[in-house]
Amino acid sequence: MKIQIINGPNLNLLGVREPEVYGSTNFDSFLAKLRKAYPQTQIEYFQSNTEGALVDKIHEVGFSFDGIVLNAGAYTHTSVALLDAIKAVSTPVIEVHISNIHQREEFRHHSMISAGCKGVICGFGLDSYRLAIEAIVGSSRV
């Protein structure tokens, strides 16, 4: 199985800034643990602060991978371009968030991209990504 994790803007700062909201683990060390936990699964990682680059990556993998785990960061709340990209590809996309966006500011309560996603996982810290992978891998087990 091939799964693409995509992180959007500012998520390159994980573990460096705002640890009270996003935790103190950087994504690279989390990714190493995730790959160890799923040795049979090819887990690719991409991060960009640019909306178009995120759209391009969805197009690139969206017809061949088994799943996309997408934390679109702040573009979650604004991007019709990402919604259209998600709807255009055949690979299922799972929306994830580290924080519980519904416990935060009002403007974070609405996701522009959820309507195109297979499911949404939020509020479990970095474990949100593992739960999304489990949803993709697990759905072929039972």
The CA distance from 15 to 25, in Å, is: 5
The answer to whether residue 97 is catalytic is: yes
Rounded CA separation 86/9 (Å): 17
Closest CA to 43 of 134, 139, 125, 104: 134
> Are the C-beta atoms of residues 27 and 63 closer than 8 Å to each other?
no
Residues that contact ligand CA2, how many (by CB under 6 A): 16
Q: Which is nearer to ligand CA2, 67 or 73 (CB)?
A: 73
Which candidate, 104, 115, 136, places its Cα nearest to that of 5? 136
Least Cβ distance, residue 82 to ligand CA2 (angstroms) = 12
Looking at residues 45 to 104 of the shown chain, list those that interact with ligand CA2 (rule: CB under 6 A). Answer: 71, 73-74, 76, 97-99, 101
17 binds ligand CA2 (CB under 6 A): yes
Euclidean distance between the first and the last CA atom of the chain, given in angstroms as a whole number: 15
45 included as an active-site residue: no
Per CB under 6 A, 117 contacts ligand CA2: no
Residue 22 binds to ligand CA2 (criterion: CB under 6 A): yes
Contact (Cβ atoms closer than 8 angstroms) between residue 125 and residue 23 = yes
User: Which range touches ligand CA2 (CB under 6 A), out of 7-15, 50-58, 62-70, 83-91?
Assistant: 7-15
User: Considering beta carbons, is residue 54 or 101 the nearer one to ligand CA2?
Assistant: 101
Query: What single-letter DSSP state applies at residue 94?
Result: E
Mind telling me the catalytic residues?
22, 97
Binding residues for ligand CA2 (CB under 6 A): 10-11, 13-14, 17-18, 22, 71, 73-74, 76, 97-99, 101, 108
